[in-house]
Structure 1
Amino acid sequence: MDSSSHDLRLAPSLLPSEASPEWNNKADNAWQLTAATLVGLQSVPGLVILYGSMVKRKWAVNSAFMALFAFACVLICWVSWAHCMAFGTKLLPFVGKPNHALAGKFLLSKSTVGYLPMADFVFFQFAFAAITVVLLAGSLLGRMNFYAWMMFVPLWLTFSYTVGAFSIWGDGGFLSGKIIDYAGGFVIHLSSGVAGFTAAYWVGPRISHDREKFPPNNIIHMLGGAGFLWMGWTGFNGGAPFQVGEITSLAIFNTHLCTATSLLVWLTLDMIVYTKSSVVGAVQGMITGLVCITPGAGLVDSWAAILMGALSGSIPWYTMMVVHKKLAFFQSVDDTLGVFHTHAVAGLLGGILSGVFAKPELLRIMYPDMHYYPGLFYSFFDSKLGLGIRQIWFQLLGAGFVVMWNVLVTSIICILIGRVVDLRMHEEDLEVGDDAVHGEEAYALWGDGERMRIPLRLHISPIPSLCRRRFSIPLAMNQEE
């Protein structure tokens, strides 16, 4: 029987409808919404929990709330003007025209990337933008004036993040089609690390005894927040292709492989040098692995992901544990959670290694309309070493642009905000912490200066003289009262 005589019928659920036009791929749409949600969970509750538990107890509320505020603020700014600056019509070689992304016709139209509604693309890119600002906050915990932070978030999103995103990812950006940055090693991690370090310089350090002793207030919760971050990265790197395909599967696999390797390498170095397995160190190693694989997650083979994990667990470890302690410059800037090392160093490392190990076949699958040069490793064996060197040059050019732009713009923003409000809290507020800033504390623990309420039965005694004398003095929870 001729194959053309077959009556091919699709299930009713797969047929186009008013709610699902012909261009809408339901599988891609469903995955993209899931991936965007996973990225959102990295910030809320992931980094909210991580920050709130990784800092000293008196800063738990303020640190967690800085992350929560940034997430909400970025969404409003993103749909009001920033999305179009990052992914809209070209205004300048490095930024698009500001415009809102709220029109129903726009949100329900076909996305410029993939077979799904534009609303998916806008929300996914918002989650990327939000986590970038939240990561930046890790450098500023424990002393930044919250009112200054409220001004900093929309300004930095507008004048820094959108520029990096449009320049490298946008249609018409001057680095678009040249820099290999699969899911944001430069746009997100290098920029947040450099901007956080720069802002930390302008804000100033924590008070001396906070810098000397800043223990996590809840390591178990810290691990929970780290878990949200790690598992959420499935959507972070898995959502970048905007479709369910081979690249998506490879990216997710490589992400977890690199991260596990990095964590184990960092932990091993801690045990060799300090003879103890640091839980905080393991979390830092986890983060550097996630960051390093991001710019090349779907573009490198798995053996390369393991090698990238080994390097991301050792090079940022060396810069944080050795170089940072030796150089006076690093000592003079109070980067609270070491965001410079975990994101700027690891992001730069991942961007360069992506230029080394990017596989030509995977580049063609991921970017069929672009013509990236092969990774340096493959160009050597294909006798095209010049092309590989050219790609490395572009990677370094992109890194240099992101670094310089973030140092310049972040400095200008901090200086301008400093003219309006204090960037750093007052000394007396720094001594108190959360209660001085928000009038709230993280934990209502037994013994925190509150008097214990005496049960009613203690006042009713069958032996008045003895019991009245015994309980006439108020029972205080704290001996210092």
Structure 2
Amino acid sequence: MGSYNATAEAEWLDTGDNAWQMTAATLVGLQSVPGLMVLYAGIVKSKWAINSAFMAFYGFSATLIVWVLWAYKTAFGVYMLPFAGRPGQVVTIMQELGQSTLPSADLTQNFPLATMVYFQFVFAAITVVLLAGAVLGRMNFLAWMIFVPLWITFSYTIGAYSIWGGGFLFNMGVLDYSGGYVIHLSSGTAGFVAAHWVGPRLAADREDNRPNNILCVLIGAGILWIGWNGFNGGDPYAASADAGVAVLNTNLCTAMSLLTWTACDYLYYKKPSVIGAVNGMITGLVGITPAAGFVAGWGAIIIGFSTGTIPWLSMNIAGKKLAYFRKVDDTLGIFHTHAVAGFVGGFSTGLWATIEGCAAFAVTNPGGAIDGNGRQVWVQIVGALFIIGWNMVWTSLILCFIKYVLRIPLRMSEEELLAGDSMVHGEAAYVLGPCEAHEHLLAGHYLRKTETGPQELSMGGVTMGQNPQAEHDKTGQEITKAD
């Protein structure tokens, strides 16, 4: 019995490239589902475990439908505006079987369009899932359901087209290997802006914000780290030598950043924090993303040191001393771990990109400042400023539309905030007993109460115990600063 051989008619198809591209896309998808789902469920209070994981689950699903109906072509289609392609669907069988092309960027790949659509989808999805980390524990789920498709449409696709799809920043020569700007700077900026508009968690939840399961956090973090091999290794769109460079540099930078952050914790807090190490891991992954295949191994190590120190200072010093950072309730510090680290990585790309790395990625940039191309530094700054400005404006417009035009509250009701998952979803993550009693049981693994009250354990930018806005003077008296 004979069979139809599709590859015989598709001479452009490179099965090795296609296999690696689908593998890389799957690795990136695993970062969201289950990676960030598990991380979010473990790092919040137990009463928010389901809601936090579900925000990621929903964001992943909603993004795919939007992506194939109009958003993919807005991000990677035919020129319409300097910052957006012409919207359109990608759902017919002939489209999906056809060769992948990026018409505005004048690039062609040796695998089908279906593979490219899915690969770019998982990047779009993880961006909005990362954004969710800033508003965990209080955003109205209905508002989130509406926010996701609007934000993907009016914010994410614009950054993607401008830098990757052939838009004006692409033509200017902005380097963003795999999303330091398109994904991390945008999600960090938009998350912080969203946290401002949604408002804070309950005061009690901010005061006692201990993770309910640190082992789950580590499992999610491990999936993120290894999944990043597909995140950066897939962006040459081929199983090329540069893909191998990107994977090695990704792990080098991440390891250096984790070690540096842990050393900072040890020097400042006198204890190495696991949550701090996870933050250092994430900032390393974020920082190397715009540079992965452009820099040499020594450049990756330098970037890792930068992402282990600058975001640490941003989170642990500026984040605790500057009034506005204390006022805006960015639940997981997404601004510090993604916006700051993404900017550091993008700026560092302008410094440390090599001529050979750029050539291996098939771009014409003559390296960065290290190879005599000082122009690349200010080009990188221009790209960052556009992403920051666009996300500030459009995230605000979308949330104001939901709140003032659709009349849907952005923040849960006080009753929902008190009850958590059991009221919002009618389900609870743990069934061993009443929610609060179980939280106290879990908390005993991380913090013991003294006779005078709970002790404060502050490490790695996460304060577990009393009010994270409370400071203690040298006499031990608590000094509480107003929001």
Q: TM-score by structure 1 length?
A: 0.87
Equivalent residue for 2:409, pick from 422, 441, 450: 422
Distance 1:449 1:151, change over 3 A: closer
1:107 aligns with 2:102: no
The alpha-carbon deviation at position 374 of structure 1 amounts to 2.2
Equivalent residue for 1:54, pick from 43, 66, 79: 43
CA distance in 2, matches of 1:348, 1:63: 26
1:129-168, aligned counterparts within 5 Å?
Answer: 129-168=124-163
Amino acid at match of 2:417: L
CA distance in 2, matches of 1:182, 1:334: 31
Which structure carries more strand by proportion? 2
Amino acid at match of 1:405: W
Structure 2 contact 47–435 (Cα < 8 Å) conserved: no
The alpha-carbon deviation at position 389 of structure 1 amounts to 2.2
1:84 aligns with 2:73: yes
CA distance in 1, matches of 2:210, 2:327: 20
The structure that has the greater radius of gyration is: 1
1:376 paired residue number = 369
The alignment partner of 2:136 has SS state of coil
The alignment partner of 1:116 has SS state of strand
CA distance in 2, matches of 1:139, 1:437: 19
1:290 paired residue number = 285
1:240-251, aligned counterparts within 5 Å?
Answer: 240-251=235-246
1:119 paired residue number = 114
Distance 1:46 1:176, change over 3 A: farther
Number of aligned pairs?
425
Distance 1:210 1:423, change over 3 A: same
Percent of aligned pairs sharing the same letter? 54
1:305-384, aligned counterparts within 5 Å?
Answer: 305-367=300-362, 370-379=363-372
The alpha-carbon deviation at position 198 of structure 1 amounts to 0.3
Higher mean C-alpha deviation, range 323-332 or range 335-344: 323-332
The alpha-carbon deviation at position 438 of structure 1 amounts to 0.3
The alignment partner of 1:295 has SS state of coil
The alpha-carbon deviation at position 17 of structure 1 amounts to 4.2
2:421 paired residue number = 434
Structure 2 contact 357–367 (Cα < 8 Å) conserved: no
Equivalent residue for 1:413, pick from 373, 394, 398: 398
The alpha-carbon deviation at position 177 of structure 1 amounts to 5.2
1:389 paired residue number = 374
Amino acid at match of 1:63: S
Amino acid at match of 2:413: H
5+ residue gaps in structure 1? 1-15, 380-387, 451-481
CA distance in 2, matches of 1:400, 1:448: 44
CA distance in 2, matches of 1:331, 1:60: 24
CA distance in 2, matches of 1:45, 1:240: 22
Residue deviations 1:271-306 (CA, integer Å, cap 9, x gap): 111111111101000000000000010110001101
CA distance in 2, matches of 1:171, 1:318: 36
Structure 1 contact 205–334 (Cα < 8 Å) conserved: yes
Structure 2 contact 232–246 (Cα < 8 Å) conserved: yes
Distance 1:176 1:122, change over 3 A: farther
Residue deviations 1:417-445 (CA, integer Å, cap 9, x gap): 01220000011210111111101100111
Structure 1 contact 95–173 (Cα < 8 Å) conserved: no
1:399 paired residue number = 384
Distance 1:174 1:434, change over 3 A: same
CA distance in 2, matches of 1:422, 1:166: 31
Q: TM-score by structure 2 length?
A: 0.86
Distance 1:448 1:287, change over 3 A: closer
